Chain A
Amino acid sequence: MDRLQVTDLHVEFGGVRAVDGLSFSVREGEILCLLGPNGAGKSTTLDLICGKTQPTGGSIHLDGVEISHMLEFRRARRGVGRKFQVPSVYKDLTVDENLSIARSKRPGIWSALTRFALTDSRETEQILDLVDLGAKRSELAGNLSHGETQWLEIAMLIAQDSKLILMDEPTAGMTIQETERTAEIFRSLSANHSLIVVEHDMSFVRSVADRIIVMNRGAMLAEGSIEEIEANEDVKTAYLGH
């Protein structure tokens, strides 16, 4: 069964159709990459799926359940995780506390009232070792470097353990080695998570994408494997102009 099914999705901002009749689906354990020129509606599509923006038309189904008009925290509870373009970690909280927030299997107030903020967990340790932040557990996230902040955010998404993870430019500002590490982590994540990745770095896309969708002016321009996309004439025109 499809993890995510997007059907005829529309959204308008003051007369501009940012997303215009978009339909696609994501299978379990698949990495789908969204490509397209600036303003094509890639980030807006992620916003619509995670609930940051409300669609003006169309529907979004997660595991067969309609989520298009749910509040964002309900979607998150159902298994939609989101990484934003601008790294958004909690700068005044420590690395450990950031992960504790992200580990939100029980987000209710009662369970929050009856537990301490930091419980030593092997899971947290493993995740931090994976992104090489084990030595910085008690550090304030605001003191981390840009690269480390990116890693922390990826660690938070792993800790959140969502069924569907939406990534907006995860490798922005990373070195080549870091990008390779990220690709590795993504491939291991795809064993039991579905991912939608918006990315400009084509070598990264090549190494992780199971399938690619190219968007232009809010609609789908092409869909297929990396080879199919690179051979597509429409895509070349959209990127390079006439």
Chain B
Amino acid sequence: MSSKFQFELVALVIFAVVIAFGVPAVMNYDGFELNTFARYLALAIVSMALALSWGVTGLLNLGQAATFGMGSYAMAMHLKLRASSGLPDFMSWNNVSELPLFWVPFNSLAFTLLAGLLIPAFIGGLIGIFMFRARIAGVFVAIITLAFLVAFQLLVINQQGLTGGQNGLTGLAQMTLFGWAFDPYSMGFYYLVAGCVTVALAIGVYLTHSKFGLVLRAIREDADRTRFFGYNVANYKTLVFCISAALAGWAGMLYTLVLEFASPTYMGVSFSLAIVIWCAVGGRESVIAAAFGAIVVNMLEGRLSDIFVEGWHLILGVIFVLVVMFMPRGIFGLLVEGAQKLRTVGRARPGHAVEPLSTTPLETNQER
């Protein structure tokens, strides 16, 4: 087990303990505050999903919000059906007289949960296959995924009778599982979201430290070289796109549960770019750092957008520019560099024993 892996496992445990015990205590177990924080946690999952494709594999997916929206709408469709007797209200307003066929299976919760993961994964995989088989890479991945996002959002908005259009899906029921209704302002619901984030992060940490993750990092550095070692680069890229999309779908489902509605703005360009910013601020190389970035930026937004209602997006933009210019590896990068400096300072002082975590460049140079 490498030291980096141990480090991330420790970080994951700390993260889990803090969100399970620390955050509720600080917020005085207040339902409203916890609901707000649960929203950040749901967004942390989608940011962490982007870290897998962007940070680890080097595929900048600007369409992450599309798969997030699919999960969100899947859940909202189920809850809308539960809330309405017969036809959902917006359909009758739009002269739709019969429940559309693709709505019917969303009566089942099991189907909804599966669909919220698998439909985004399928769509992500489909786009991935076409792009990566044709060896499209770099900035073109960003352009194609962005184009898909815009087209998909337009489709959802224009099909008002089927999707609720610009209004989205509102007036939703609460989800009930085994007779327990999910009140988004309850402690139990907060723990559900916190558990989901922890599991998603554990999956992400495992993936980045498996051989799969190593091959992904090799692909990010030099995809051609990796092919000459016998790896089917297109398949690896496609799979990471699928996984990332499924995680985004998962986050979308939780987001609908937290906010109790689904809106086409979830599939907007600005939302998609915001995910990129969270990921960059936290540090795109590590899934935990990316999740942390999402929470930090959203907490900031929660505080600052009250004060700077108009200027908030400007502030966010400035933050992004500063991060790109001065800390391209995000908060995570600062921590890594800080740890390295501390270690060299510790070693320079005689008699001050520092436990070597790993062989740093300096250490081996001194040995030589």
Contacts and interface: CB of A to CB of B under 8 A. Distances in A.
Interface of A: 50-52, 71-74, 76-77, 81-82, 84, 88, 90-93, 97, 100-102, 104, 107-109, 111-118, 135-140, 143, 160
Nearest to B213: A117
A215 B217 CA distance: 38
A138 B225 CA distance: 21
Interface string B234-258: 0110010000000000000000000
> Which of A102, A109, A140 lies at the interface centre, i.e. has the most chain B CB atoms within 10 A of its CB?
A109
Contact of A76 (B217, B229, B361): B229
B7 to A, nearest CB: 13
Nearest to A90: B221
Interface string B202-227: 00000101111111011001101111
B1 interface: yes
Contacts of B239: 109
11 contacts: A52-B228, A74-B230, A76-B229, A90-B221, A90-B225, A93-B214, A109-B236, A111-B211, A115-B210, A117-B209, A139-B361
Contact of A73 (B1, B217, B232): B232
B230 A104 contact: yes
A109 B79 CA distance: 37
B231 interface: yes
A81 B214 contact: no
Contact of B209 (A107, A116, A137): A116
Contacts of A102: 229
Given A72-B228, A77-B230, A90 B218 contact: yes
B1 A116 contact: yes
B212 A73 contact: no
A72 B227 contact: yes
A77 to B, nearest CB: 4
Given A92-B221, A101-B214, A111-B211, A138 B358 contact: yes
Given A116-B209, A118-B2, 18 more contacts: A72-B228, A73-B232, A76-B230, A88-B222, A90-B221, A91-B221, A92-B221, A93-B218, A93-B221, A100-B211, A111-B211, A112-B210, A113-B207, A116-B210, A135-B364, A135-B367, A139-B359, A139-B361
B60 interface: no
B230 A73 contact: yes
A107 B218 CA distance: 13
A92 B221 CA distance: 7
A92 B217 contact: yes
B233 interface: yes
A117 B2 contact: yes
A200 B4 CA distance: 42
B171 to A, nearest CB: 42
Interface residues of B, number: 33
Given A107-B229, A138-B359, A100 B214 contact: yes
A73 B233 contact: yes
A78 to B, nearest CB: 9
Q: Which 6 A-B pairs have the closest CB atoms?
A: A76-B230, A117-B214, A112-B212, A138-B359, A107-B230, A112-B211
Contacts of A82: 228
B232 to A, nearest CB: 5
> Which of B225, B229, B239, B358 lies at the interface centre, i.e. has the most chain A CB atoms within 10 A of its CB?
B229
B65 to A, nearest CB: 27
Nearest to B232: A73
Contacts of B210: 112-117
Contacts of A143: 361
B231 A73 contact: yes
Contacts of B232: 73, 107-109
Interface in B64-97: none
> Which of B218, B230, B236 lies at the interface centre, i.e. has the most chain A CB atoms within 10 A of its CB?
B230
Contacts of A117: 2, 209-211, 213-214
Contacts of A140: 361
Contact of A109 (B212, B214, B227, B229): B212
A157 B236 CA distance: 22
B34 to A, nearest CB: 35
Contacts of A72: 227-228
Nearest to A115: B211
Contacts of A81: 228
A90 B222 contact: yes
A88 B226 CA distance: 10
B222 to A, nearest CB: 6
Contact of A136 (B1, B209, B235, B364): B364
B128 to A, nearest CB: 13
B285 to A, nearest CB: 9
B228 A101 contact: no
